[in-house]
Amino acid sequence: MIFILSLILLIIVFLFLLIILFSFFFAIDVFLDLPYVATKKEKVGTIIKLANIKRGETVIDLGSGDGRLLFAAAQKGAKAIGYEINPFLIFLTKLKSQFSPPQVRDLILTKRQNLWHTDLAVADVIFVYGRKKTMPRFEKFIYQNAKRGARIIVNTDKTKPFPNKKPLKSGNGIFLYKI
Ligand SMILES: C[S@@+](CC[C@H](N)C(=O)[O-])C[C@H]1O[C@@H](n2cnc3c(N)ncnc32)[C@H](O)[C@@H]1O
């Protein structure tokens, strides 16, 4: 009887800690201009298709979330670098990478860093999942810092893409630009 009661108590404490942990996780993003929203699974395919990633290229995800785009890029043989401010999402990406095959895992790098301070010049492909108020800033930041020929993939999710540049292609709410 005591054993069962202790077990129930333990489960309650565990659930309570889990709720605190998740609240903290969301609290971080509430204060961001760019809160966490994961790219929908059906859009990941469109992104990878439009990006036309080649083996050996370098891909940067600006705000990498749970790392889903990094994994998709690494599966194409690209070195995939994610910049993410939320430590829980970095932890989640690292945890997921432990269950990936080594040829994918070894290509993924996540950095806890402000995305506005990243070196974009190394990237052949840049992923952006912006919101209405961050799109103009993303456009300026990328066009000033990315190298010539870099492909930019913008996920809009009901907002407009870059306000001043014309996309090369689009589909499924995803836009491709070339610097
Ligand atoms: C819209 S989500 C996109 C997640 C992921 N790229 C995807 O497509 O599934 C934006 C991400 O950017 C992160 N973020 C917001 N501001 C940031 C900043 N200044 N520096 C780094 N990451 C940031 C958020 O924590 C969030 O995970």
Choose the residue to mutate in 26, 29, 31, 34 for probing ligand 1, maximizing ligand atoms within 8 Å of C-beta: 34
Q: Which residues sit with their C-beta closer than 6 Å to ligand 1?
A: 29, 32, 34, 36-39, 61, 63-65, 68-69, 83-86, 89, 114-116, 129
Same domain, residue pair 74 and 102: yes
Q: Is residue 128 in some structural domain?
A: yes
Q: Is residue 93 in some structural domain?
A: yes
Q: Model-level pTM? A: 0.86
More confident residue, 133 or 45: 45
Same domain, residue pair 81 and 126: yes
8 A C-beta contact, residue 149 and residue 179: yes
Same domain, residue pair 98 and 148: yes
Same domain, residue pair 68 and 2: no
pLDDT (tens digit, 9 = 90+) per residue, 62-81?
999 999 999 999 999 999 99
Same domain, residue pair 55 and 135: yes
Mean pLDDT for the chain overall? 91
Residue 168 belongs to a domain with what CATH number? 3.40.50.150
| Beta-carbon contacts of residue 153 (< 8 Å; ≥ 6 apart) | 47, 50, 51, 125, 126, 127, 128, 174, 175, 176
- Amino acid making up residue 133: K
Q: Is residue 5 in some structural domain?
A: yes
Q: By residue range, what is the domain housing residue 2? A: 1-31
pLDDT (tens digit, 9 = 90+) per residue, 122-156?
999 999 998 888 899 999 999 999 999 999 999 98
Q: Is residue 144 in some structural domain?
A: yes
Same domain, residue pair 110 and 142: yes
Same domain, residue pair 107 and 74: yes
Same domain, residue pair 1 and 47: no
Q: Is residue 142 in some structural domain?
A: yes
Same domain, residue pair 3 and 68: no
Q: For atom 12 of ligand 1, which residue has the closest CA?
A: 63
Q: Which atom of ligand 1 is nearest to the CA of 82?
A: 6
Q: Is residue 92 in some structural domain?
A: yes
Percent of the chain with pLDDT strictly greater than 70 = 95
Same domain, residue pair 60 and 107: yes
- Say how many domains are in the chain: 2
Same domain, residue pair 68 and 151: yes
Residue carrying the six token digits 């690494």: 74
Q: Which atom of ligand 1 is nearest to the CA of 65?
A: 27
Looking at residue 27, its pLDDT comes to: 67
Q: Is residue 17 in some structural domain?
A: yes
Q: Is residue 36 in some structural domain?
A: no
3-state secondary structure of 132: coil
Question: How do strand 174-178 and strand 108-112 relate by DSSP bridges?
Answer: unpaired
Residue 34 C-alpha to ligand 1 middle, in angstroms? Answer: 6
Same domain, residue pair 108 and 172: yes
Angle at which helices 87-98 and 2-30 pack, to 10 degrees? 120
